[in-house]
Structure 1
């Protein structure tokens, strides 16, 4: 048995100037900018804990939006999603990059939000 749910909306920005994009998206979505980012490639847009996390990511590919599915068991969730028709296309920093039958990329990641345990879907026996 494991748990998972939609955890993060990731806005992929093809840029070396994350500050400009952080200012725009924070203003557009009514979120607060992250104070003192530890990694220049990522910026969290702070909102209520009960809402979907929004993360900006600096990328080399074309700009797009992708989803992160958070789970307490990455291998079990990858297996479940593969059985539904997704394909594993890579891994990075401990998470798995997958592609849906529709062609959309998404990641399977460890829990990201504080209410994960109480609000995630339960899979298996």
Structure 2
């Protein structure tokens, strides 16, 4: 058995400077900036959300701007295999830590390790 849930709404931004996009989305969504430079490389910013809400992450990218979802799981292989059975395809394993997947609809999403200390109330259990 493994578990998974919606973890993160990722706003991919094809921009030179993530600060303006972070300010816009912070004001548009009414969420204060938790971290303007999450990893110290200028690629990730996070908006503050409640513990039972999905994380909202802005990511500086070099492809068209879009929004994608992250599904967190306590068993990366089991969850990607489950999603493949539903018709998704693995696209790339990134840094050995998460899978970029593609849904049958063509949408990209990621399967990632747990992002918060507790897995939370909105948890799916899969056999």
Which blocks of at least 5 consecutive residues in structure 2 are unaligned?
A: none
The answer to whether structure 1 residue 123 and structure 2 residue 106 are counterparts is no
TM-score between the two structures when normalised by the length of structure 1: 0.93
TM-score between the two structures when normalised by the length of structure 2: 0.92
Q: Does structure 1 conserve the Cα–Cα contact (< 8 Å) formed by 2:73 and 2:113?
A: yes
Which blocks of at least 5 consecutive residues in structure 1 are unaligned?
A: none
Q: Does structure 1 conserve the Cα–Cα contact (< 8 Å) formed by 2:10 and 2:57?
A: yes
Distance 1:35 1:9, change over 3 A: closer
User: Offset at 1:36?
Assistant: 5.7
Q: State the distance in 2 between where 1:115 and 1:30 align.
A: 25
Partner of 2:71: 69
Q: State the distance in 2 between where 1:106 and 1:119 align.
A: 19
Partner of 1:18: 18
The size of the alignment, in residue pairs, is 124
Q: Flag as ranges the 4+ runs of structure 1 deviating above 4 A.
A: none
